[in-house]
Structure 1
Amino acid sequence: MTKTVLCYGDSLTWGQDADKGRHAYKDRWPSTLQAALGNEVRIIAEGLNGRTTAFDDHLADCDRNGARILPTILQSHAPLDLVILLLGTNDMKPVVAGSAFAACQGIARLVRLIRNHAWPFEFDGPDILIVAPPKICETANVPFAASFVGAIEESAKLPTLYRDLADELGCGFFDGNSVAKTTPVDGIHLDAENTRALGRGMESTVRMMLGL
């Protein structure tokens, strides 16, 4: 029976290209993961530029609060076997939350929403994989540097905090820093090679969690 995986994330999942707008479909990490897993698995890419874990961005042009949108997304794609959470980078903006600890609290809120969701029929709910985004790096891009003041140090704390949270809540964990690095073009996003590497890097963890 085909397994269904929801990839819930921000612009890293959407496929933001710091140079050209958006990566080609084949280069986005959910697409790379789909190619690696084959027809046994159906990957649903649910990425939105600027999405936070659970915080409002009052400067945004649409709702970026991941906690407010998630229940609707879960209901529309149920049943699900696995939810991959790749969020936290946008929480590093001082106008949003500005700390790794806040992002960790936000991820914990998303896990609770998934676990306590009113799933249709007699569905037990999916496993959850928490992914630490590749840390923010130095950039000469003035708008991005100004938007993410202090974020380089804070984002480097996410892997440890997320790993501990995953252990505490009984979720899977994958550190995006183990396979991918952000581009200095804007300090936030991934070039095509690194976003593909992210999808390939998750394959073994996802296979294990799905029992493949």
Structure 2
Amino acid sequence: MKNVLCFGDSNTYGTPPMSGPGDERRFDAKTRWPGVMRKILGHSWHVVEEGLPGRTTIRDDLIEGTFKNGRRYLAACLESHRPLDVIVLGLGTNDLKARFGAPPEDVAAGIDILASIIRATPNLGAPPAKLLIVGPPPIRLVGFLGAMFAGGVEKSMALSPLYEAVARKHGADFLDAGKLVAVSPVDGIHYDEQAHRILGEATAARVQEMAGEKTISV
């Protein structure tokens, strides 16, 4: 059985568009994109969902908790789930929060650091896992999250080519989610059910290609 790890934030976790503070709903396993991918890949694949709302690439969040820093957990996560065949890395949206003041180049630098950790982590004697870096779609400043992400729209629109350059540096594949889906007009950050389906189908196809498998149409 092949193993694919999905390491991401609330959009990997399956947070629906939020109506306000305290909205802690989660799409069910069949609806969120890793679950869509699981169904397409079939029983020969084990899909590990490691999505955490608020997770950043490498930044400590002094408001929501330093455990939101993806760098702090990634190495342990990789070792606990190895051997891995494919790793899907989808982070960066939370780095756009106004409190971090990070330019897009620094957000991409965080992805670069995480990719380096992935490349440096032994894979339990198996060949190195293939890496798919997913660039997040541009955000919108709407709803109650708008103030939290003030100044982030322009930064989010600059991420795709920077992420693609990081992917080339590490010999990884790149998927531009912004060419496939858009964030919800409700909160400007999260995906609706249709976006999860589209992203799950696209990610499954790419994972199959990376693994040398025939792509299964849906």
TM-score bucket of the superposed structures, by smaller chain:
over 0.9
RMSD: 1.4
Gaps of 5+ in 2: 214-218
Query: Greater shift after overlay, 160-169 or 92-101?
Result: 92-101
Number of the residue aligned with 2:102: 98
Cα separation, 2, equivalents of 1:93 and 1:41: 35
Number of the residue aligned with 1:183: 184
Alpha carbons 1:98, 1:151 under 8 Å: kept: no
1:138 aligned partner, one-letter code: L
The alpha-carbon distance between structure 1 residues 130 and 97, as it changes in their structure 2 partners (threshold 3 A), is farther
Q: Equivalent residue of 1:26, what SS?
A: coil
1:135 aligned partner, one-letter code: P
Equivalences for 1:1-212 in 2 at 5 Å?
A: 2-19=1-18, 21-61=25-65, 63-120=67-124, 122-139=125-142, 141-142=143-144, 144-212=145-213
The alpha-carbon distance between structure 1 residues 112 and 65, as it changes in their structure 2 partners (threshold 3 A), is same
The alpha-carbon distance between structure 1 residues 35 and 97, as it changes in their structure 2 partners (threshold 3 A), is farther
Which contiguous aligned blocks of 4+ residues in structure 1 show a shift greater than 3 angstroms?
none
TM-score normalised per structure 1: 0.93
Alpha carbons 1:83, 1:129 under 8 Å: kept: yes
List per-residue Cα deviations over 1:90-122 (Å, max 9, x = no partner): 0001213432211110011011101111444x2
Alpha carbons 2:84, 2:123 under 8 Å: kept: no
Gaps of 5+ in 1: none
Alpha carbons 2:122, 2:128 under 8 Å: kept: no
Aligned identity (percent) is 38
Alpha carbons 2:138, 2:153 under 8 Å: kept: yes
2:160 aligned partner, one-letter code: P
Count of residue correspondences:
208
List per-residue Cα deviations over 1:14-61 (Å, max 9, x = no partner): 000124621122110000011111112111110000000111111014
Cα separation, 2, equivalents of 1:188 and 1:15: 12
